[in-house]
Structure 1
Amino acid sequence: MSSYSVSLTTADPSDLTDFKRELQDAFAIAVIEEFEALPDGPIPSDEDLDTSFNSPGAEVLRIVCDGRKVGGAVVTIDEKTHHNSLDLFFLKVGEHGLGLGHKAWLAIEARYPQTIVWTTHTPYFERRNIHFYVNKCGFKITAFFHAHYPDPNHPEPDNLPDSAGFQFEKVM
C-alpha cells in the first residue's frame, strides 16, 4: 500500500463531466447503503457541483495515483485568512481501502502550507468519512447539524430523507 504514489493536479475543464459522474457514483454507495435506494437525481446534483466548482476561491483537484485518475477534491482557499475548506472529497468506486485517501489528504495539506485551519463536513451516515477525518487525518468534530440545528453554510440536498451531519475542523 505504501508504494503507491499519489499526487494532485488541477482538474482540466474538459474532465469536469467525468469528475462529476465519478463523484456522484462514489457518493451514491453510502446513500444506497443507508437509504436502500437513491432519491430523485444524483447526489450532489449537477447544479450543486457547478456552484461548488465556480465558487470564489474554489479549486477543483484530481487525485492521481501512478498516472491514473483515482478521485478528486474541491477546496476553497481563502488567501487572506488562510482558513480553508475541503468542500468535496472522493475516491472513485473500487479505489477505497488502499490508503489513497490519506495520501491524497496529505498531498492537499502539502499543497496549501499557509493554511491555518481546514474545515469540512459530512453526513452523519457516512461512518467511513467520520473515521477517516477524525482518526486518519486529525480533524476534530466541531458541530453536529440536524433538522433542529441546520448547517447554515452547507445545506443538505433536499432529496435526502435526513439532513443530519457533522462539521470538522483541523488546526494546523
Structure 2
Amino acid sequence: MTKQNEQITLAPVPQEELAIFKTECQEAFMKGLQDSFPEAEDPTEMGPVPSDEDYEQLNAKESVVRQLVLNGERIGGVVLQINNDTQRNEVDFLYTKANVHGKGLGTKAWEAIEAAFPETEVWELHTPYFEKRNIHFYVNKCGFKIVEFNHKGNPGPNVEGEEPESDEEYEFFRFEKVMVKVSSES
C-alpha cells in the first residue's frame, strides 16, 4: 500500500535514459494488450506498441516527456503535447510500471500532471476501445468524458489519408477533460 502523503513528481527524462523510457512505455502498453487478449497469439510478433516510428514521430513534434517519480524511483512516464497558444493539451502516452498497478498511484500521477500544467483548459487523449482498465481510469478516476468514437468510418484527424487494414485498427475513444478555473474574484 502507498502512504497517503506520498507525492509523485514529474521530472525530465535524462537524455541517456530516453531509450530505457521508450522500452518501459512499450512494455506497459504491450502488457495492456496481452491482458486484453490473453487468448491471442504472441502480440509481440506484431512489433512494439507504440511502434518505434510512432514514438520517434512524437519526439519530432517537440513533445514534453516526463518521468513519474516516487521516492526517487521512476514508476512511469508521460508524453504530452502542450499548446501554449490554445492550452488545449494532449496526452500521447501515460504509463505506470506493472509493479505499481492497483495502488492508486495512477490517480496521483494524473493529479501531478494537472498540477504541473495549471494553465491547461482542455486535456485530450485517445485510448483503444478494448482497454477497459484505461477507460475506467480516465472516466471514473480522472474525470474525463468520452466525446468521440473513432473507427474506420470516422478515423479522426490523426489518420486522414491512411487506409486502415481492419476496423479494429482504428477503434479508439477520444476523451476530453475540461478544466474548471477557480475565479479569484468573489
Alignment TM-score > 0.5, same fold:
yes
Residue 7 of structure 2 aligns with an amino acid whose one-letter code is S
Q: Give the whole-Å Cα distance in 1 for the aligned partners of 2:56 and 2:177.
A: 26
Structure having the larger proportion of residues in helix: 2
Gapped runs of 5+ residues in structure 2? Answer: 180-186
TM-score normalised by the chain length of structure 1? 0.91
Larger Rg belongs to: 2
Give the 4+ runs in structure 1 shifted more than 3 A. Answer: 158-162
| 1:121 correspondence with 2:121 | no
Hey, what does 2:9 align to over in structure 1? 7
| 1:60 correspondence with 2:62 | no
For residue 153 of structure 1, report the CA deviation from its aligned partner. Answer: 2.0
Residue 72 of structure 1 aligns with an amino acid whose one-letter code is G
Q: Give the whole-Å Cα distance in 1 for the aligned partners of 2:103 and 2:5.
A: 10
Hey, what does 1:150 align to over in structure 2? 155
1:94 aligned counterpart, secondary structure: helix
Gapped runs of 5+ residues in structure 1? Answer: none
Q: What is the alpha-carbon root mean square deviation over aligned residues?
A: 2.0
8 Å CA contact 1:22–1:93 kept in 2: the answer is no
Hey, what does 2:184 align to over in structure 1? none
1:102 aligned counterpart, secondary structure: helix
For residue 154 of structure 1, report the CA deviation from its aligned partner. Answer: 5.9
Match of 1:22 among 24, 36, 42: 24
For residue 5 of structure 1, report the CA deviation from its aligned partner. Answer: 2.2
Q: Give the whole-Å Cα distance in 2 for the aligned partners of 1:12 and 1:166.
A: 32
For residue 12 of structure 1, report the CA deviation from its aligned partner. Answer: 1.5
Residue-by-residue CA offset, 1:52-103 (whole Å, 9 max, x unaligned): 12314x2000000111000000011111111111111000122211111111
For residue 30 of structure 1, report the CA deviation from its aligned partner. Answer: 1.9
Hey, what does 1:50 align to over in structure 2? 56
Give me the identity figure in percent.
44
2:98 aligned counterpart, secondary structure: coil
